[in-house]
A and B are shown apart, each in its own frame.
Chain A
Amino acid sequence: MSKTLKGITLKGSAELVAEFFSFGINSILYQRGIYPAETFTRVTQYDMSLHLTTDAKLKNYLTNVVSQLKEWLFDCTVQKLVVVITCLETNEVLERWQFDIECDKTANESSAPREKSIKAIQEEIRSVIRQITATVTFLPLLETACAFDLLIYTDKDLEVPEQWEESGPQLIDQSEEVRLRSFTTSIHKVNSMVAYKRTNSI
């Protein structure tokens, strides 16, 4: 394990970031009520209690995306990961959770591992996930049935794998944006933000 003792390598950083995305997306799905709360179970990660889905189809989908994402993180070809929440009745995009990924391209497979402690990275990740949980207080309620989608922004010349296809950015019409915390593994830096549809009440 290259990330336990000797510092962070490119591969270890990709694994850390992919792991964060897996737990982060599960937290978002639980907090926003996209899937019923009883389909989630609790696990301990980053020294805190997080939710993980038990739905087999959803798990399968997430593992597919996250494993592909890990590869692209290793190649430093991915720029953003976006969780898009759409209302099924009106087909409108209600929320966008956007994670910008900045990759230090000077790091490659054979470069020396960088000095950053796992504890510090986990601490940063913990604060990001706590903040995601806290944002639920000011986000507008999702009253209608919603579904989610994962979009990945990559370099233009990337070869699109078989089961993937190009799509639009699925932007929100009249949105409010809030920037959240970021964390860095010294090779990859992840900035988080959430954009939600402005509600026209009051």
Chain B
Amino acid sequence: MDDMEDDTTIFSTLKSFKSLISCPDRSLLETEPGFGRSGLQNLYTKRVELEEAAERVRSHTSLLQLTQEKQQMELSHKRARIELEKEANSSSRDLQREIDRNRELLLQIRRLEEREEKANQALNEQMENNKALKRNFEELHKKANEKDSKLAEADQMISELKDETRRLNQQIQIQESKFSTQNLEIQALQEQLDVQRKKFQDVSQRYQNLQTSHSTSTESELKMKELERRLALQEQDSVIVKNMKSEVARLPELEREIKRLREENTFLRETKENNSLLREETEGLRRKLERMERVMEEKLKVELEKEKLEHELQAWENIGQSTGLNIRKPEDLSREVIQIQQRELNLKQQNYTLNSSIRSVEKARTELMPEIAQLRAKAQEEQKKRENQDSLVRRLQKRVLLLTKERDGMRAILESYDSELATSEYSPQLMLRVKEAEDMLQKVQTHNTEMETQLSKAQEEAGSFKLQAQMVTTELEALKEQQVSNAEKNTLATAEEVSSLRQKIEELESERQQLEEQNNILEMRLERHNLQGGYDPVTTKVIHLQMNPTSIAKQQRTEEVEQLRVECQRLRDRLRKIEAGGGMTTDDTTLIIPPSQEILDLRKQMESAELKNQRLKEVFQKKIQEFRTACYVLTGYQIDITVENQYRLTSVYAEHMEDSLLYASLTDFSLTVLGTDLHLFHQKSIPVFLSAVTIELFSRQTVT
């Protein structure tokens, strides 16, 4: 289209160009007739025009070209745009497709995520289930282990019990064997018993013989003892007789001694009385001696005192000489002392009065001081007033002078007036004025005199005040001099004392404070000590009952502790024994482990087995007894076992109990008679031989 348009434009432009070309021609043509100046000019102009037209055409063509190019460009642009739009559309479509795909993918992802979550949850649940199952499994495992352990323990117990049963069976067997051996022993012992019985009978007979002989011997012994006693007595009697003889021989000597002793006795009694008298005398003398000694001591003391008193007296007498007073007796001394005391009292009174007067004077002084001040002030005021009044007086005097001058002047004037005027109408007035002036004068004079009197009074008062002030000052000075003199008198004596006393007071006060503080502290400590239960061991003691609850409780505690220790030790020993012995203990300890059912059953079995054993033993014994008696009766031989495999046969018809002729041993089937082997068998058969022996013995018995 564009090309077509371009072509049409080209054509149009060509057409226009042609027209243009033709037009200038026409214009040229047209102009030709118009102008006739010069054809050159016209040509020139035409050429110019043509050139212009050509330029125009060229420009136009260039324009057209440009427009063409532009159109081409536009076309190309449009094409590109279209293509781009197409591409854009396609790309947008692709985009949308992609977006859709994206959405789908996202949805898928979400679905997958959900599935994943579900799967995870399922997984977690499965894990938890797994864990639970594992735990269960472990628990079951533990239970299984426990059961296994228990089973093992039970097995152990069973094995132990089996061992026990085996041991018990062994014990049963041992006991059975023991039983059989014991039976055999019993038989042997019975035989021994018979033998012993026979011996016993012999022995008893001999014993009786012995006893009879013993009795006779004892009788003879008794007789012997009696005889010996009589002998002894007789010997004693003989000894006594000898002693008596000796004593009798001593008798006269004793009598002599008795006499002597009696004499001595009387003598001693006399001397005893003398002794007592002498003792009393000595006691009396001793007491006198003591008294005399005491008296001597007192005398010495008294002499010493007398010397002292003499010294004192001399001193007292010397005092009179030393002091220069008229003293001969102590009365004078006392009188002097009294006088001195009186003087002292007087002086003290004077002192007190002086002090009081000083104080009163001081008070008066102090009281007068303000009065003085007041008076001074008043004096000053009066002075001021006087000065004022002096000044007033001077002013008044000046005024008076002025007034007098005025008066003189006025008088002069009046005189002049009077002189000038003979009779005037003004004379009453002048007279009035004169009177007034005179009145004024008088007033002024009176005023003046009053002022002068006041002045004089004030001056007198001031003078009197001055005098008083002077008097008071003189008195003050006198008092001050007195005070100073007193103080001078006293300071010499008392200044030192006062200062020392003040120092002492200060020290004592500080000490007192310190002591008070210490006292407080000690009291607090004591209170605290008392509260805590302390006491002064010097004044108090602490007691309590011996059987008090605390001691009883402590004792009980120690006992409990001891008991617990003992039990502990016992338990430890038990434990050790159990660990070492492995079960049963035969001491005072018993099994700690609670006996299980099996052990109880086994014990019961054991007891029943023992009972059975015993019963069997009894039964066996009975049976064997029966059997043996049956054998003895039926076969005619009593068969006893002496040694293992050796049997002793005793026949029924044996004459003596110990006539056991036959000894048989089963091992070698030999038969001995009284120690020698018997090889003679009746047809080498023992029973036949034995029966032959019985027949023989029976025949012997019946015959004898």
Contacts and interface: CB of A to CB of B under 8 A. Distances in A.
Interface of A: 58, 61, 64-65, 79-80, 82, 84, 86, 88, 91, 96, 98, 100, 145, 147-156, 158, 160, 163-172, 175, 177, 179, 193, 195
Interface residues on B, range: 20 to 34
B540 A154 contact: yes
B543 A98 contact: no
Contact of A175 (B532, B541, B542, B553): B532
Contacts of A177: 528, 531-532
A169 B542 contact: yes
B540 A163 contact: no
Given A149-B544, A164-B543, A169 B549 contact: no
Contacts of B553: 88, 145, 147
Contacts of B528: 177
B544 A155 contact: no
B524 to A, nearest CB: 13
Nearest to A77: B540
Contact of A147 (B535, B544, B554): B554
Contacts of B543: 151-152, 154, 160, 164-167
Contact of B534 (A65, A148, A169): A169
A193 B531 contact: yes
5 contacts: A64-B545, A152-B544, A154-B540, A165-B545, A195-B533
Contact of A171 (B532, B537, B544, B557): B532
Contacts of B533: 80, 82, 96, 98, 169-172, 195
Contacts of A172: 532-533
A154 B544 CA distance: 11
A179 B530 CA distance: 11
B541 A171 contact: no
Contact of B545 (A61, A79, A82, A175): A61
A166 B531 contact: no
Given A88-B554, A147-B554, A149-B548, A167 B534 contact: no
A80 B541 CA distance: 10
Contact of B539 (A145, A156, A166): A156
B532 A79 contact: no
Contacts of A171: 532-534
B550 interface: yes
A60 B543 CA distance: 18
A152 B552 CA distance: 19
Contacts of B549: 58, 61, 147-149
Nearest to B543: A164
Contacts of B551: 149
Given A88-B553, A88-B557, A61 B548 contact: yes
A65 B545 contact: yes
B545 A163 contact: yes
A166 to B, nearest CB: 6
Interface string B546-579: 1111111110010000000000000000000000
Contacts of B546: 163-165
A150 B547 CA distance: 11
A161 to B, nearest CB: 9
Given A155-B541, A179-B531, 4 more contacts: A153-B541, A155-B540, A170-B533, A195-B533
